[in-house]
Amino acid sequence: MHQNHSELTSSSTDPIDDTAILFSKPFHAPREMANLQEVVRGDHAHGDGDFTRSATRRLTEITGAPAALLTTSGSHALELASRLLDLGPGDEVILPSFTFPSAANAIALTGATCVFVDVDMRHGNIDPQQVAEAITPRTRAISVVSYGGVAVDFEAITAIAEEHGLAIIEDNAHGLGGSYRGQALGTFGVVGVQSFHDTKNVHCGEGGAILINDVTLLDRAEIMREKGTNRARFLRGQIDKYTWVDIGSSYLLSEYNAAVLDSQLESFTGIQQKRHAIWDSYATRLPAWADGENVRLMDVPADRQHPAHLFFLQTPDHDYQVALLAHLRSLGVFATFHYIPLDSAPAGLRHGRRLRELTESQSFSDRLVRLPLWADMTQGQIDRVIEGVSSFHR
């Protein structure tokens, strides 16, 4: 029932007054309107126009990925990833139980089986030890997400993938701008997936992208994104007619969305500076309270750069989480929890199996509190969140 999107910023029983601090608020970039007007007045509103080209270039510059294709959503980019790997019935993909349902849908839609494993309690990322234990002769891929943009232990995951000949699908919906040992997040999998949903650092309402790190997949990705046709090659003049050559769907982002996305990516540095300043305020002003309460604040190992996508705390137990969220809500501060473990969810039981009882994922989920974090928060709002949190005592 409860997931991470905007339904958590309000509920029918809590009227939101003007002073409430929402959990998330979409950023609006300076050039959005001008870009949109250009599309409205022009002759090209479908996908793969000038704004798509420009936004795609900005995305490959930020990530260093060899190629990228914009898609209608992050979820669709994950589906495209499954199709590119030819997943199907009998195949298994290992993924964390604590993640967004789209990662599991993308596997289940092909008829493949989700094999859920636990996350490590420090960062909420997939536990490499359990990945190694979950491998069977049917395993094809490992699907990972760097939770909150704090990198997965890619050294361990990459070693396991190489040893067993498995593909890594990197859900990088939280991680744009983050890195692991100097390498940009999104570039560790054969493909990396971005989301531009309006809860993400950079958005266009709904949208996504697939970063193609294994360039041997690029031709087929272009075809699958264009209804299974070789239209992209036709438009480049490489063939003289286009036809149906593979399975596919329509995953192109319209130029309206790409126009907004392009302006957001143009403002990326500024957006990130604002978000980091808020993140740093939480990280520097909450430790005294957290120590006294036995609460753990999000921490980032020295070999990882996070992109200030979210700021979380871990409470000592579930009752504390519920009480802290209620306290903050009474002050008009809309903090929230996050994913409900997928392995025990109704669809998780139908489309997957778990390595064993996943106690860490459950515990991580039961004790997680995320604080409001969006680029245009005022100093007064940041102070109110910090004072609200620090005024809570068991």
* Residue from 63, 73, 110, 201 in contact with ligand PLP (CB under 6 A): 73
User: Are the C-beta atoms of residues 319 and 91 closer than 8 Å to each other?
Assistant: no
393-to-257, 290, 295, 302, 315 alpha-carbon distances in Å: 45, 10, 11, 31, 12
Q: CB of residue 2 vs ligand PLP: minimum separation in angstroms?
A: 14
Paired with 305 in beta bridges are 179
CA 223 centroid distance within chain: 24
CB of 171: closest distance to ligand PLP in angstroms?
5
Question: Which tokens go with 190?
Answer: 């054969």
Least separation, in Å, of the C-beta of 208 and ligand PLP? 5
Nearer to ligand PLP, 337 or 392 (CB): 337
With contacts defined by CB under 6 A, name the span among 169-177, 228-236, 298-306, 375-383 that binds ligand PLP: 169-177
The two tokens of residue 126 are 């997939």
Report 189-228 residues binding ligand PLP (CB under 6 A). Answer: 195, 197, 208
Q: CA-to-CA distance for 230 and 239, rounded, in angstroms?
A: 9
The answer to whether residue 267 forms part of the interface with ligand PLP (CB under 6 A) is: no
| 173, 218, 313, 368: which one binds ligand PLP (CB under 6 A) | 173
Q: Which stretch binds ligand PLP (CB under 6 A): 70-78, 124-132, 287-295, 340-348?
A: 70-78
**171 is a contact residue toward ligand PLP (CB under 6 A):** yes
**145 lies in the binding site for ligand PLP (CB under 6 A):** yes
Element spanning 251, H or E: none
Residues 6+ apart with CB under 8 A from 213: 65, 66, 187, 188, 189, 190, 191, 192
CA distance linking residue 378 with residue 382, whole number of Å? 6
Nearer to ligand PLP by C-beta: 75 or 213? 75
Q: Which of 195, 141, 117 is nearest to 354 (CA)?
A: 117
Residues of span 100-119 touching ligand PLP by CB under 6 A: 100, 102-103
Q: Rounded to whole angstroms, what are the CA distances from 204 to 152, 261, 262?
A: 26, 5, 9
74 near ligand PLP (CB under 6 A): yes
Minimum distance of ligand PLP from residue 145's CB (angstroms): 5
- Minimal CB distance residue for ligand PLP: 74
The distance of closest approach from Cβ of residue 100 to ligand PLP in the complex, given in angstroms and rounded to an integer, is 4
Question: At 53, phi and psi to the nearest 5?
Answer: -60, -45
- Per rule CB under 6 A, is residue 128 in the interface with ligand PLP? no
Query: By C-beta, is 100 or 282 nearer to ligand PLP?
Result: 100
Q: Which stretch binds ligand PLP (CB under 6 A): 43-51, 170-178, 234-242, 365-373?
A: 170-178
Residues 238-257 that bind ligand PLP (CB under 6 A): none
Q: Which is nearer to ligand PLP, 68 or 386 (CB)?
A: 68
* Piece of the chain touching ligand PLP by CB under 6 A; list 87-95, 98-106, 234-242, 282-290: 98-106
Tell how far CA 229 is from the center of its chain: 29
What value, to the nearest 5°, has the Cα angle with vertex 123 and ends 120 and 127? 30
Name residue 373's amino acid: L
Closest to 5 measured CA to CA, from 394, 283, 337: 337
User: Are the C-beta atoms of residues 51 and 258 closer than 8 Å to each other?
Assistant: yes
Nearest approach in angstroms of CB 105 to ligand PLP is: 9
Tokens 């993924």 label which residue?
95
**Which spans of this chain sit near ligand PLP (rule: CB under 6 A)?**
73-75, 99-100, 102-103, 145, 171, 173-174, 195, 197, 208
